């Protein structure tokens, strides 16, 4: 197991190594694999990428992203303009169903509406994430379809069984309550963790995923 200092230094090195992140104003703290990122970045994509870089490091069990997006003056966008730009982008993306809408407040986008699949919900967030002027995103899009809740557990388990990143001896357990899935068990890395969560979201009939997975590091 990596020592506390080793993990912190490795995370700092990985964030600095990532060409998509300006790490000059980022500080890293680590306590037993619980990594906290503090400071500022100049865009929302860098906010996301900094956390992804930290998750790639061995020994990291959780990432608490406390970074703030401090937009350069030239990237500031007033809320009415950002709202219009975001909704135009959503409308032009054929993978996002009609009825999904974005509203900006102080550069923070809130997504609302109803979709059929978790992949459509993710596509909507990805569509607006790189827009100039975005400081953060709250995804309140709801998922609704006619799938029988009884089939949800089977759909998710089948998806987990197909994913190459999830080992055959995985102890991940799928519990369902209606159309809400709770994931329990152990995964070795963040890549494996994300594969499990993504598989659950892709399954037909899943409206919400509760992540209780433990990353062993």
Tens of pLDDT, residue by residue over 162-206, are: 877 777 788 888 888 888 889 999 998 888 888 899 888 888 888
Strand order across the 136-139 sheet:
101-105, 108-112, 136-139
Domain total for the chain? 3
Q: Please indicate, yes or no, whether residues 122 and 183 belong to a single structural domain of this protein.
A: no
Q: Please indicate, yes or no, whether residues 64 and 78 belong to a single structural domain of this protein.
A: no
Place of tokens 């089948």: 158
The candidate with the shortest Cα–Cα distance to 198, out of 177, 172, 169, 217, is 172
CATH number at residue 40: 3.30.1340.30
The candidate with the shortest Cα–Cα distance to 160, out of 149, 61, 169, 52, is 169
The candidate with the shortest Cα–Cα distance to 44, out of 119, 109, 114, is 109
Q: Please indicate, yes or no, whether residues 137 and 164 belong to a single structural domain of this protein.
A: no
The candidate with the shortest Cα–Cα distance to 159, out of 106, 185, 197, is 197
Q: Please indicate, yes or no, whether residues 153 and 128 belong to a single structural domain of this protein.
A: no
Please give the Cα distance from 38 to 195 (Å, whole number): 26
Q: Please indicate, yes or no, whether residues 52 and 79 belong to a single structural domain of this protein.
A: no
Q: Are 113 and 100 in contact (CB under 8 A)?
A: yes
Q: Please indicate, yes or no, whether residues 54 and 113 belong to a single structural domain of this protein.
A: no
Q: What does the pLDDT read at residue 4?
A: 60
Domain that holds residue 31: 4-69
- Domain endpoint, select from 69, 99, 121: 69
Average model confidence (pLDDT) for the chain?
A: 91
Please give the Cα distance from 68 to 35 (Å, whole number): 16
Q: Please indicate, yes or no, whether residues 50 and 31 belong to a single structural domain of this protein.
A: yes
The candidate with the shortest Cα–Cα distance to 42, out of 84, 10, 74, is 74
Please give the Cα distance from 28 to 39 (Å, whole number): 9
Q: Please indicate, yes or no, whether residues 184 and 211 belong to a single structural domain of this protein.
A: yes
Q: What does the pLDDT read at residue 216?
A: 83
Q: What does the pLDDT read at residue 199?
A: 85
CATH number at residue 108: 3.30.1340
- Domain endpoint, select from 122, 143, 164: 143
Q: Please indicate, yes or no, whether residues 82 and 139 belong to a single structural domain of this protein.
A: yes
Q: Kindly report each contact of residues 166-172 with a partner whose C-beta sits within 8 Å and lies 24 or more positions away, as own/partner.
A: 166/192, 166/195, 166/196, 166/199, 167/192, 170/196, 172/196, 172/213
Q: Please indicate, yes or no, whether residues 130 and 113 belong to a single structural domain of this protein.
A: yes
Q: Please indicate, yes or no, whether residues 139 and 193 belong to a single structural domain of this protein.
A: no
Q: What does the pLDDT read at residue 189?
A: 86
Torsion, Cα of 72, 75, 78, 84 (10° steps):
-150
Q: Which residues in the chain come in under a pLDDT of 50? A: 1
Q: Please indicate, yes or no, whether residues 21 and 44 belong to a single structural domain of this protein.
A: yes
DSSP assignment of 11-22: HHHHHHH-TT--
Please give the Cα distance from 146 to 192 (Å, whole number): 30
- Domain endpoint, select from 98, 116, 143: 143
Specify the DSSP class assigned to residue 92: H
């Amino acid at each position: 197991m990596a020592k506390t200092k080793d993990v912190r230094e490795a995370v700092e090195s990985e964030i600095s190594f990532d060409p998509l992140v300006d790490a000059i104003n980022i500080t890293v703290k680590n306590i037993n694999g619980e990594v906290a990122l503090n400071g500022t970045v100049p865009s929302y994509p860098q906010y996301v990428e900094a956390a992804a870089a930290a998750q790639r490091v061995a020994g990291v069990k959780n990432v608490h992203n406390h970074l703030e997006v401090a937009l350069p003056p030239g990237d500031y966008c007033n809320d009415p303009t950002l709202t219009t730009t975001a909704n135009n982008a959503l409308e032009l993306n054929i993978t996002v169903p009609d009825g999904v809408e974005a509203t900006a407040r102080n550069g923070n986008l809130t997504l609302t509406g109803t979709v059929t699949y978790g992949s459509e919900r993710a596509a909507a967030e990805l569509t607006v994430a790189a827009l100039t002027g975005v400081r953060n995103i709250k995804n309140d899009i709801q998922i609704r379809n006619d799938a029988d809740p009884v089939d949800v557990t089977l759909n998710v388990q089948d998806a987990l069984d197909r994913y190459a990143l999830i080992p055959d001896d995985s102890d991940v357990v799928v519990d369902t309550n209606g159309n809400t899935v709770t994931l329990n068990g152990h995964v070795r890395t963040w890549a494996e963790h994300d594969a499990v969560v993504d598989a659950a979201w892709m399954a037909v009939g899943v409206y919400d995923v509760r992540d209780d997975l433990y990353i062993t590091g």
